[in-house]
Each structure stands twice: as structure tokens, then as C-alpha cells.
């Protein structure tokens, strides 16, 4: 049995949705293992665009089982809205092809409100979150006061659990100068949504074990990127979960040995949404060009992404912390037409050359990229499906990236379309 974990190798938005969808043809099951509806995965299939947040990208494939694991924080209202939206686009979503972990923590309206209060406050650090309540929901999980999906199946005991949660949140809201949450009102909302969610609930750990025993292939889909990992990312400007491949096992209740290959997704350049350090950021016309050609706007928030040159220092680091065996290189076509392309190969920190991003936030702000310049190409790479279709300079660029990051290119994506993909090494056959 082969299990492949797909993670972002930068700050997210690398094109994981398309790659997961493309790989899901080779798998029987697709599992989301962390994050929440702050994620945004866009698929373009036959000219039709699907935008997912909570749903695994494999849901676009017929006869595949999609799984939302316990490592995901689930907003039940957002999930039902997304299911209905996808149904309106012609996708069939039922408990036969989608299951949700019984022990997944819930995101409630109060979590989004708290997220917004913090992000709009003049006090503290603004992280640049999506204000979807992801962080506060994970806080409640770790604080052992969260409501979990299975709690919706026992509505008689629901109010007591809501009151236990509000003992914390109402005290916090009072301190922040906001009105308290009424336990009866919140309980009523949960009872209303419960019948729509409970049919999808299942013991995911057991179902996945049975699937492994049968020898089926499993595809583990991560959200965000390794540089947003709460431990290994650019802290504090990170998400609230572990985004590296190590989370794939814990986030769905399966053994680490079930993951036989880790595929890291990386753009041919670099983007970031929100606050935080970005050593190779470009604020000139080239940065604007990358953003325009790459359509760099967040799937979930619509926020404009910051753009810059490919940073081999960062990706070399995420190859190590993410356990990446090979990469899927996306959006190569965005670089078409540039006379010169630069790659960050090291950093200058206060006059000293270093080969990694330091852990200290202040030091991260001070590092300056040391670039290596390469010849660009004038030919188009858009839609290429064979190495022979690529310009020699583009191939040279890809090969140099492989050398710098210490990982081979397994897949090359040349457009958002599902089939505009060059397979170098099948992760399921590794």
C-alpha cells in the first residue's frame, strides 16, 4: 500500500489543489489532515473552476472517498455551505463519498468573532489571519474545552458543553469589552445544524485502517505551507497547526509508516499572503508582473499576494523539516518572457552569509537575499505536457532549482488545467 502526503513547501497558495486532484486519479482515498476553511484550493477542470476550502480536492473525482480528519478544525456552517455550493456546480457529495472525523474540533461563530477582534485591535501583533476563527478553535482544542463533531450527535448534553466553553470565552469577551454569548442561543444554532452534519461523521482512524488493510492507495492533503507551520514556520506569523508531513499521521489517526512518499508543492517563484518576513519580496514592476500573470489573489479572502523571486534557502529548509522526497513545481509559465530570473541562494545577516532562515523573528526581518541570476526565456511554457516542449533555458532553471533545494522535481505543472502536467516520477510508484 502506498500513501502519499502532499504539503506546501512555501507559504501556501502553491497550487496544491490541482496536484492533489491530479494525483487523486491514482488513489482511492483523499484525506485532509489539518487546517480549516482558511485554506483555499482552486481546481480548473475542463474550463470549469471549483474553489474548495474544507472539502478535500479529491471530491471532484467520482468514485473516490474524501475524508476530513481530526486534525482539521471544522466550521459546520461553512462545511454545509461549501457542500451546497459544490452540488450547484454538479458535484455529488453524500456520506458515501465524504466522511468527517467524529473527533474533529468545531469552529463556532464566537471563534471567528474573537479572531476579528484580535486582528482589528491596536494592541498586540497582527498576524494577518483570514479571521475564520482557526486559531481560537485550536486554542480551545488544546485547552480541552472544545466542542467536537461527535458532540452534535448528543443534543441532550450539548448545552452543558456549551456552558463549559463559554465559562472561558465570556470571561475573555468581558475583558475585551464585548458582550457575552448567550448559551441558549448558541445551543439552538448547534441543534439546528446538527442533523446536516451528523450523517457524515465516522471513526476516520478505523475506516482508514480498514482501507490500508485492503491495500488501497491513500492521498494525504495538507493545507497552507511548511513556512506557516506553528513550530517550523516564520513564527509568530504562522497558522495554528502543524503543516509539515509529520502531521498527516496524527491528523487522521494513521501510522506514520503509512506515508511512503512526501510531495512538496512549490511555485517557480514565491508568494505570501498577510504579514511576516519575506526576504525575496519584490515591490517593483517585476513583482507586480508576477502577481498579474500568476493571478495572485487569495482563494478564500481575495487578498492580493505579495510576490518575489524563488527562495531556495527557504525551500531547502522545508525539504528538511517537511520530510519532502520530491517536489511538484508549479506556475513555471508565469516566468515566461523574463530576460533574467533570480534565485535566492543564501542570506546576508548583519554582514554574515548564512544558509538558513534564523528562528528569531527580529533576525528574520533583517536578512537580505543573496541572489544568483539566470538567463530567462522568451518562448511559452504554458500548457506544456512533455520535457521536449520546454525551452532549454526553462529546463536549465528547473535543474538548478533541484540542485539548490536538494530535492528532485517529480511533477511539473504548466497551467491550472488538470492535464497540463509533466510527470517525471509517480509518487505512488516510489
Based on the residue annotation, tell me whether 41 is a catalytic residue of this protein: yes
**What sign does the dihedral 192-197-202-203 (CA atoms) show?**
negative
Based on the residue annotation, tell me whether 111 is a catalytic residue of this protein: no
Q: Kindly report the three-state secondary structure assignment for every residue of the chain.
A: CCEEEEEECCCCCCCHHHHHHHHHCCCCEEEECCECCCCCEEEEECCEEEEECCCCHHHHCCCCEEEECCCECECHHHHHHHHHHHHHCCCCCCCCCEEEECCCEECCHHHHHHHHHHHHCCCCCCCCCCCCCHHHHHHHHHCCCCCEHHHHHCHHHHHHHHHHHHHHHHHHHHHCCCCCCCHHHHHHHHHHHHHHHHHHEECHHHHHHHHHHCCCCEEEECCCCHHHCCCCCCCCCCCCCCCCCHHHHHCCCCCHHHCCEEEEEEECCEEECCCCCCCCECCCHHHHHHHHHCCCECCCCCCECEEECEEHHHHHHHHHHCCCCEEEEECHHHHCCCCEEEEEEEEEECCEEECCCCCCHHHHHHCEEEEEEEECCCCCCCCCCCHHHCCHHHHHHHHHHHHHHCCCEEEEECCCECCCEEECCCHHHC
Residues 6+ apart with CB under 8 A from 200: 95, 98, 99, 100
Catalytic residue of the set 13, 115, 140, 420: 13
Pairing assessment for the beta strands 326-330 and 306-308 based on DSSP bridges: unpaired
Catalytic residue of the set 37, 41, 111, 169: 41
**Catalytic site residues?**
13, 41
Amino acid at each position: 500500500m502506498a500513501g502519499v502526503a502532499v504539503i506546501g513547501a512555501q507559504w501556501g497558495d502553491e497550487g496544491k489543489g490541482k496536484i492533489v486532484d491530479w494525483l487523486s486519479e491514482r488513489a482511492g482515498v483523499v484525506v485532509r489532515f489539518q487546517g480549516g476553511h482558511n485554506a483555499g484550493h482552486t481546481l480548473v477542470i475542463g474550463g470549469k473552476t471549483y474553489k474548495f476550502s474544507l472539502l478535500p480536492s479529491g471530491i471532484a473525482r467520482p468514485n473516490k472517498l474524501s475524508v476530513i480528519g481530526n486534525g482539521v478544525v471544522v466550521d459546520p456552517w461553512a462545511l454545509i455551505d461549501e457542500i451546497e455550493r459544490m452540488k450547484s456546480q454538479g458535484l455529488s457529495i453524500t456520506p458515501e463519498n465524504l466522511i468527517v472525523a467524529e473527533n474533529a474540533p468545531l469552529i463556532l461563530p464566537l471563534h471567528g468573532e474573537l479572531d476579528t477582534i484580535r486582528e482589528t485591535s491596536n494592541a498586540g501583533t497582527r498576524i494577518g489571519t483570514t479571521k475564520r476563527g482557526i486559531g481560537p478553535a485550536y486554542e480551545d482544542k488544546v485547552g480541552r474545552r472544545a466542542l467536537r463533531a461527535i458532540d452534535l450527535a448528543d443534543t441532550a448534553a450539548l448545552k452543558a458543553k456549551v456552558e463549559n466553553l463559554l465559562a472561558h470565552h465570556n470571561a475573555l469577551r468581558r475583558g475585551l469589552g464585548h458582550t457575552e454569548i448567550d448559551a441558549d442561543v448558541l445551543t439552538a444554532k448547534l441543534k439546528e445544524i446538527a442533523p446536516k452534519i451528523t450523517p457524515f461523521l465516522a471513526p476516520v482512524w478505523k475506516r482508514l485502517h480498514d482501507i490500508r488493510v485492503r491495500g488501497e492507495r491513500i492521498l494525504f492533503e495538507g493545507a497552507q505551507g511548511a513556512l506557516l507551520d506553528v513550530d517550523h514556520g516564520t513564527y509568530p506569523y504562522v497558522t495554528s497547526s502543524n503543516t509539515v508531513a509529520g502531521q498527516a499521521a496524527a491528523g487522521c489517526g494513521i501510522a506514520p509508516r503509512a506515508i511512503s512518499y512526501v510531495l512538496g508543492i512549490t511555485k517557480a517563484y514565491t508568494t505570501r499572503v498577510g504579514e511576516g518576513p519575506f526576504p525575496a519580496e519584490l515591490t517593483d514592476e517585476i513583482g507586480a508582473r508576477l502577481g498579474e500573470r500568476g493571478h495572485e489573489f487569495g482563494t478564500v479572502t481575495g487578498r492580493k499576494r505579495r510576490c518575489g523571486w524563488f527562495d531556495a534557502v527557504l525551500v531547502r529548509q522545508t525539504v528538511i523539516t517537511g520530510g519532502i522526497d520530491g517536489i511538484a513545481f508549479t506556475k513555471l509559465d508565469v516566468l515566461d518572457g523574463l530576460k533574467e530570473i533570480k534565485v535566492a541562494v543564501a542570506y546576508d545577516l548583519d554582514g554574515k552569509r548564512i544558509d538558513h532562515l534564523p528562528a528569531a523573528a527580529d533576525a528574520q526581518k533583517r536578512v537580505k537575499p543573496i541572489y544568483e541570476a539566470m538567463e530567462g526565456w522568451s518562448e511559452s511554457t504554458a500548457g506544456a505536457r512533455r520535457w521536449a516542449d520546454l525551452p532549454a533555458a526553462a529546463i536549465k532553471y528547473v535543474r538548478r532549482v533541484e540542485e539548490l533545494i536538494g530535492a528532485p522535481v517529480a511533477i511539473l505543472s504548466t497551467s491550472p488545467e488538470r492535464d497540463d502536467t509533466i510527470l517525471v516520477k509517480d509518487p505512488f510508484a516510489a
